[in-house]
A and B are shown apart, each in its own frame.
Chain A
Amino acid sequence: MSNDLDRMELNTDVEIDPQETEDIDLITAVNRTLHQEMDRDESVRLLGYDIGPLGGVYRGTEGLLEEFGKNRVIDTPLSENGIIGTAAGMAMRGERPVPEIQFMGFFYPAFGQFMYAVVKMYKRTGGALEMPMTIRIPYGGGIKALEYHQESTETYFIHTPGVRVICASTPAQTKGLLAASIRNDDPVIFLEPKSVYRGIDEPVPSAEYTLPLDEARIVREGSDVTVLTWGAMVHQAKSAATDVDADVEIVDLRSLSPLDIETILDSVSKTGRCVVFHEARRTLGLGAELSALINEYALDRLKAPIKRATGYDVHFPGHDIEDDYLPDDERARYAIEAVMSYEF
């Protein structure tokens, strides 16, 4: 996918010096960032299963065990609630754990610890105990995997107070956002679009850098219609934008919670049209919130109703019809064309 990506169009919000960059894919960016952050801060510890000798099922932690040892790269029992709960205990004692949940569909057993301890402790103690932990989760479809390996249920996290939800869409974004997440004192759910893991190489600065955790990114400026999206869908949206008769502005939300509402409202107020484009199921997906937000604060700027091009309200289907479920550049194009054709 996204082989048509024009490297020069990448907006990473950082000056890229081609002399000091390396062309890497998204999962390699994860690996480089974990290495860098573990180097600069001894309290950063990775937890998860298969993250040690195997280096993670996607190789995100490859080589880190050899470099940092088993007390920093902690191969755990196969227990999501145990991983998140012990990471929470470590965070309460001044560590900066970075647990990995192997697939988003495996997170559900950990919801107990997530809700009871991770997102609540800072509030419960009136700020006395902080929870600086970054939970890495590969999410989304597009890789023809098994059931519960394709989930895009970020809404569960976004609905929860006390946690940041961050989603990276490119290798350079990943490095800056993951570093910023690990250094942040809030718990962070860090979503990695696994269909992009090996899909794109781009120049990523070798030096350390962080990207803001509360700002959306204008991927592509346009004047006719705003596409609000994140993760893997950013690339599908870019493809769609080149294929429609409209000047499309693409906003990569990056921070799904809290939202950069000013950027969203500014863009929609400028274009007057909006498509929300996400992999998640439609009902109560983030698109529902975005649509409500725009209705509340920019209704009189709208030239057409907001459309949501999303996954359907079904369980993620089997391989044979996965492509029919998943939103792609075609579905995005239809939605853009629809809102362009509408007249009040």
Chain B
Amino acid sequence: MAQEMWTEERPPGDFYRILDPDGELETEAPEMDEEELLQLYRTFIATRVLEEKMLNMQRSGEVSLVARTLGEEATPLGGAAALQPDDWIFHTYRQTPALLYWDRPMVEVIASATGREPETIAEQLDTEDPAVNFSPDYTPIGTNVVNGVGAAMADAFNDRDTVTMVFTGDGSTSQGAFHDGMNFAGVFDVPAVIICQNNQWAISEPAHRQTGSETFAQKAAAYGLSSARVDGNDVFAVYEKAREAVERARSGGGATFIECVTYRMGAHNTSDNPNRYRDDSEQREYWEDRDPVDRYDTYLRNRGILDDDTETELRDEIDDQVADAVEQVRSISNSEPDRMFDTTLHGESWRERHQRAELHRELNGKNPFVDFTGEGFNE
């Protein structure tokens, strides 16, 4: 197996950073009070506990597939923390911290992975909308970049001061949709922040097979967008650059593209086996030394904001929250099969009526094919 050491031409250390890997400040920390600092910490821990639990649920067959955020939590967290209520996030499948930071209910996060129809989940869960709006998560990568930019265009045309944040990955920068979205963002000067979570692997393809450019950040120049390249494992750095970008967007300064350099510590998802394509012991060690949570943990302890007691208390609280959410998810009944017809189109069509009836017959052990006149199933 060919060893893929550094996947980019430019070394990963060549970026904006505030908190060094040892948890020491390299420059001034963002202005945040103790509660805000703890909120970031809480979200870090909640993400790890929740995703660990979901991984277990995957192993026991309760959810089909899980894509974890492990090792790259600081990027979605720092980005999301820079938003204000009523802003929008268009996300993919590796932004759990963004969801949890803005109180998207854990039960919804888990339930959406259980394969139940969205109508079933919505009907059986009594949850409140989070303060920041979330698109559904996107699995076809790059798609959300264009939709997010369209949403931001709508804000601009309506003179709203809403900001749209789009999360995407290094792999998606190879997609036409990424370029379509970036180009529209530049042409229409939209209030959007596009964050590239460069975790250096798109399943088995390394970042240097996604681009011939030195960095992803420099792609912004081609579209006339502002840009930044930051240490994606430094929550302060991501937050600070995202905050500047959000401010710029809100004040009519247009869109920003931020490359956050991080590393996917685990597999792409639970059906992936990275041992087949990367021998990453050396890389792994490098990135473990730069773990976003450890780094931040050290900082808080050095500042006297966090101690063992606070941590234990917080972890207990989160364990309870996750256990409660899992219990709620388990209480949701399976979807009625004919839910599959719901919310396809408004109103009712002959085909829909007929095919619903056919399905019911099939489920009842009856022959669905006995209508030879189109007049339905009269019996």
Contacts and interface: CB of A to CB of B under 8 A. Distances in A.
B146 A258 contact: no
A95 B154 contact: yes
Interface in B334-379: 342-347, 349-352, 371-374
B155 A93 contact: yes
A76 B184 CA distance: 8
9 contacts: A45-B157, A74-B153, A81-B180, A82-B184, A116-B140, A125-B136, A258-B345, A258-B350, A297-B374
Contacts of B351: 258-259, 261
A207 interface: no
Contacts of A93: 88, 150-151, 154-155
Contact of A85 (B146, B155, B342): B146
A109 interface: yes
Interface string B121-156: 110000000000001101010010011111111110
A123 B157 CA distance: 27
A88 B146 contact: yes
B150 A259 contact: no
A298 B374 contact: yes
A161 interface: yes
Given A81-B177, A113-B177, A126-B117, A92 B184 contact: no
B344 A123 contact: yes
Given A87-B150, A109-B176, A116-B140, A92 B135 contact: yes
B376 to A, nearest CB: 10
A218 to B, nearest CB: 17
Query: Interface residue tally of chain A, by bracket?
Result: 35 or more
A125 B180 CA distance: 24
Given A82-B146, A86-B146, A127 B342 contact: yes
Contacts of B143: 85, 112-113, 116-117
Contacts of A86: 146-147, 149-150, 153, 181, 184
B113 interface: no
A124 B118 contact: yes
A310 to B, nearest CB: 22
A214 B347 contact: yes
Interface of A: 45, 71-72, 74, 76-77, 79, 81-82, 85-95, 109, 112-113, 116-117, 121-129, 161-164, 184-186, 214, 258-262, 265, 296-300
Contacts of B374: 261-262, 265, 296-298
A235 B289 CA distance: 74
A113 B141 CA distance: 11
Given A77-B183, A297-B371, A297-B374, A89 B176 contact: no
B119 interface: yes
B297 to A, nearest CB: 36
Contact of A185 (B180, B342, B346, B372): B346
B29 to A, nearest CB: 35
Query: Interface residue tally of chain B, by bracket?
Result: 35 or more
Contacts of A85: 143, 146-147, 149-150, 177, 180-181
A214 B351 CA distance: 12
Given A89-B154, A260-B350, 5 more contacts: A79-B183, A86-B153, A127-B118, A127-B119, A258-B352
Contacts of B346: 184-186
Contacts of B343: 122-123, 125-127
B118 A90 contact: no
Interface in B146-190: 146-155, 157, 176-177, 180-181, 183-184, 187-188
Contacts of B150: 85-93
Contact of B147 (A117, A127, A186, A297): A117
A262 B157 contact: no
A113 B343 CA distance: 19
Given A79-B184, A88-B147, A162 B135 contact: no
Contacts of A265: 374
A75 to B, nearest CB: 9
A154 to B, nearest CB: 17
A162 B344 contact: yes
A122 B121 CA distance: 15
A297 B373 contact: yes
Contacts of B148: 89
B126 to A, nearest CB: 15
B180 to A, nearest CB: 4
A164 B347 CA distance: 11
B161 to A, nearest CB: 14
> 5 nearest interchain CB pairs?
A89-B150, A85-B146, A126-B118, A86-B150, A297-B374
A89 B140 CA distance: 15
Given A76-B184, A82-B183, A126 B122 contact: yes
A214 B147 contact: no
Given A82-B184, A90-B153, A113 B146 contact: yes
Contacts of A91: 150
B345 A92 contact: no
A307 to B, nearest CB: 21
A127 B90 CA distance: 18
Contacts of A127: 118-119, 342-343
Interface in B80-107: 88, 90
Nearest to A130: B346
Contacts of A89: 90, 146-154
